[in-house]
Structure 1
């Protein structure tokens, strides 16, 4: 059984680590560009704040969430960027306070969600645990953009397992958004955790296999690094293909990063 309390602890720890990167920045530094084209640090934090608020709305008022979705649908390809742009115009201290309030409210809302609840979302409805897993992934991924903008190397933690697990679960989604047919068989995934342990998924005798550091795999599925710049080894044509299209985040196919961009 999924431990929602443990997931929420990981979510809060991930937020706290990112908060520590930006809390002491001078306001002008929030305008620093990140590797995401057109997005500054303020855009990254604004996006996280807005998404936490929308997730809280989903958990507390499904009808209002549905209304928001209906209003956003005519702008399906732009409304996420529009929300980030609007948030980025907020003075840095206010935006930081908004993000802190929003993530605390989401924590409370998900803790209060009845067992078995399915929360409406932009794709299929999600359990509270799945919602937290997605928020962990987003905070880690957008936190990577902030760290890259600041030239900071973050210390990987066991929380990467949440991102890796979600990346594996979304394998077929990555094929779908690229208009390709998903492989029928499961892959064997073996990742080296930050503490040296091995994390594994899939049957031991699978023909299609993927091995490497957990950090590199998470950078791959969040498209924060180009596959050529990662120590991920794929064995089998399907596994090799997946390296080029892996995508854990929702929405259309991402453009990723250029090879050698962070050399």
Structure 2
């Protein structure tokens, strides 16, 4: 791409949901075979009120984190395609509903990834807000601490994710809204577009004149607004789409 073309390149916003990470071995929570449908009790482990008030829920949550594949997962072809588009000179911003950190592991700069639901790779104290690496907390669990407390103040530790019953970070959401309004192409990939307020970003993009492209196996509520619907497997469909976008600009 020439420098002149780079200056004219459209801003591409990519809203990613659980479907982009299934090829990395991370299960979809809300799909037909999703965790919440298979095991409704599991939802308690990521519900703030249960987590804060029930030590047994916290103990089970730590075991779930310890056994989770998410922190051992690696980026797949879809994550790599997003990074490839960004490195080609096209302005890209990722807005993700995922907490797995795979966009960054694939090489996307931190500042270009907005994590609407936080990150599972960090723990945060619910009292003093001190943050540390999840790996450190899990090492304490492996050493025998069933419900590790904050080392700074003794408060309850939780993953730095937005649990059910918690609101999104208003700063992160505000930045996502600003990117959505400014972009010329908005790609929603691997998301059911049913969880608000993230889902409404697709409608907001279309309302502000962006070309809305939805890449998802199942229909979404925003399909009627899309300029293009892609139902093919994400691992091959997203790289093909983003390569086509790069060629267009």
TM-score, scaled to structure 2? 0.25
Q: Using CA pairs below 8 Å that are at least 6 residues apart, which structure has the higher relative contact order?
A: 2
TM-score, scaled to structure 1? 0.24
Structure with bigger strand share is 2
